[in-house]
Amino acid sequence: MTLETIIQTINDEFSAKSAVRDATLARSRELIKHCANTIRATHRRDAAEADALLRQADAIAAEMTTNAKQYPDIYFAGYTQDALKELAEAHLTRALILNSPLPAPGDLGIENAAYVNGLAEAVGELRRFALDALRRGEIAASERALDLMDEIYTQLITVDFPSAITRDLRRKTDIARSILERTRGDVTTAIRQEAMKKALATFEERVATSS
């Protein structure tokens, strides 16, 4: 085989790999957009819209991973796994907020590291849900969100492996803890204020009755 033939073969293989990389980058951006829209629909409690967007996201992810798996370095590249992390976050946020069964990594066709990182980031979405519930005066809903956040953090701290394996999960778990504590303070304050309102209303009713 001549050197020219060898180099031509290499160029052909690089060209094919480059095309897969470009397509994966494009699909990863599209996937992230669909996941963000899914989460927005979930916060609006529009289950039908969230489900429709998730089906589209799943289709994009399946196409992206099928092609990317031809080249492990593309499949495990940051842009690919970050997009799959967003897919996990969208699915988990929808399930947690709408009180549906949680999907496992195998159900979503993603790696464990992408799943647990998506779970960690779902804590931020639960805080958003809790605060929205507080603004609506839905104390019980905010308490449920807080309980879910606490359970997620409790489980994530058991995943104690090097960052090279978990894709920097420890840092995200630390962020989740700070979000949890801030939310605990917000919910606790709201509960106390609600209790004071009820006590004041009861007192005023007694005063009015005795007058």
pLDDT at 112 over 60: yes
Domain final residue pick, 43, 76, 110: 110
pLDDT at 206 over 70: no
- Here the tokens at position 131 are 């605060």
pLDDT at 77 over 90: yes
Instruction: Specify the pLDDT at position 182.
Output: 96
Instruction: Specify the pLDDT at position 207.
Output: 59
Same-domain pairing of 106 and 130? no
User: Any idea what the CATH number is for the domain that residue 39 is in?
Assistant: 1.20.58.2140
What average pLDDT score do residues 5-20 get? 96
Task: Estimate the crossing angle of helix 112-135 against helix 139-156, to 10 degrees.
Answer: 160
pLDDT at 6 over 70: yes
pLDDT tens digits along 158-200: 999 999 999 999 999 999 999 999 999 999 988 777 656 665 6
Examine residue 116 and state whether it is found in any structural domain, yes or no. Answer: no
Number of domains in the chain: 2
Nearest Cα neighbor of 82 from 17, 160, 167 is 167
Instruction: Specify the pLDDT at position 191.
Output: 78
Instruction: Specify the pLDDT at position 168.
Output: 94
Same-domain pairing of 198 and 102? no
Q: What is the dihedral of CA 181, 186, 187, 191, to 10 degrees?
A: 140
Examine residue 118 and state whether it is found in any structural domain, yes or no. Answer: no
Same-domain pairing of 134 and 91? no
pLDDT at 201 over 90: no
Same-domain pairing of 101 and 3? yes
Same-domain pairing of 133 and 196? yes
Same-domain pairing of 150 and 104? no
Examine residue 71 and state whether it is found in any structural domain, yes or no. Answer: yes
Give me the percent of the chain exceeding a pLDDT of 70.
92
Domain final residue pick, 86, 110, 134: 110
The answer to whether the beta carbons of residues 81 and 24 sit under 8 Å apart is no
Range of 208's domain? Answer: 124-211
